[in-house]
A = this chain, B = another copy of it.
Amino acid sequence: MTKTFNVAVLGATGAVGEQMLKTLERLDFPIASLKLLSSKRSAGKKIKFKGEEITVEEAKPESFEGIQLALFSAGGSISKALAPEAVKRGAVVVDNTSAFRMDEEVPLVVPEVNEHALQNHKGIIANPNCSTIQMVAALEPVRKEFGLKKLIVSTYQAVSGAGSEAVDEMYEQSRQIMDNEEIDPKVLPVSGDKKHYQIAFNAVPQIDVFTDNGFTFEEMKMINETKKIMEDSSINVAATCVRLPVETGHSESVYIEVEKDGLDVSRLQELMKDAPGITLQDDPSQQIYPLAADSKGKDDIFVGRIRQDLDEKKGFHLWIVSDNLLKGAALNSVQIAFSLVNTGLLK
């Protein structure tokens, strides 16, 4: 008989929480009992899981008594407060916020890239930022064989990454603009920041707040997390992160320079074909390339538009697309949970 586990999902009523539950169900994670947790405001809601109705409870330190695996996705401050409480009570926490990602004691894991880092966990495992996950998973097979010297990414990110309020704002604004009505932006680009801008029929070069060096936190996450997950701080990484009027599906225009000779477009395509979790969609003659709208609801990372730089022999361009709520968040968290089970780390 398969060993089963007592699981808690914190942030069960959010956009990522919803996808976590769907993914646990769909991939048939070995669950003995499931507890759904949220803020006080959402407690009392009822959510169906495998045909059974579960009432969402307010998350408290005591909620984690007897829990073996806790998936967190309820915001950084809640993770900071409750993850240590869950660990204290014997749970392993897979945290989908940025709270612990750069903590040296905390493994930051994309299973296809650095599953082995789980071995050093001390109770908390961090799930990387959505835009980082799809990029490192696609580039790891290249790095492993040819090394990565430099990486410059410009993102085309979907609004669902900013929560369901942002999705509602995008659709409401779209209607208002088409009906020549006034718009009143309140959520995007960053709900907690000072100013809000039109997202419908626009492109906004700000995701998360700005840091002192002129890069946004989202850009610094991509830069720092990439080096940590690939375990190579010598890779030069730069990012420009842009929010688009797309509901779900992050796209990335990525330029890389590899260390070693011998890579060409067909070898890069082969590497993508063989990589776990990657689907190659790359045939310009048939206008085949990844599209954000097609990625919604799919587990894979889609890669196309692969071409060699015209000047730099070791330079290549790629277009990388994935569902930011699945591989970018919920799916990767559940995959980490499976890795914990499969490597015997979850007891």
Contact = CB atoms under 8 A, between A and B. Distances in A.
A6 interface: no
A289 B293 CA distance: 27
Interface in A276-312: 284-287, 289-293, 304-312
Please state the number of chain copies in the assembly: 2
A195 to B, nearest CB: 5
A87 interface: no
| Residue among A174, A205, A237, A315 with most chain B CB within 10 A | A205
A191 interface: no
Contact of A309 (B156, B201, B238, B291): B238
Contact of A178 (B171, B223, B236, B265): B171
Contacts of A57: none
A245 B242 contact: no
A253 B205 contact: yes
A319 interface: yes
Contact of A240 (B193, B245, B292, B319): B319
A255 interface: yes
B215 A307 contact: yes
Contact of A202 (B150, B189, B246, B307): B246
Interface in A119-172: 150, 152, 154, 156, 171
A225 interface: no
Interface string A301-344: 00011111111100101010000000000000000000000000
A210 interface: yes
Interface string A221-259: 001000000000000111010101111000101010000
A121 B51 CA distance: 76
A223 B238 CA distance: 21
A19 interface: no
25 contacts: A152-B152, A154-B253, A193-B287, A195-B287, A201-B245, A202-B291, A204-B291, A205-B251, A205-B304, A205-B305, A206-B289, A210-B284, A213-B307, A214-B265, A214-B284, A214-B306, A215-B307, A215-B310, A236-B309, A237-B310, A238-B309, A238-B310, A240-B319, A244-B244, A253-B253
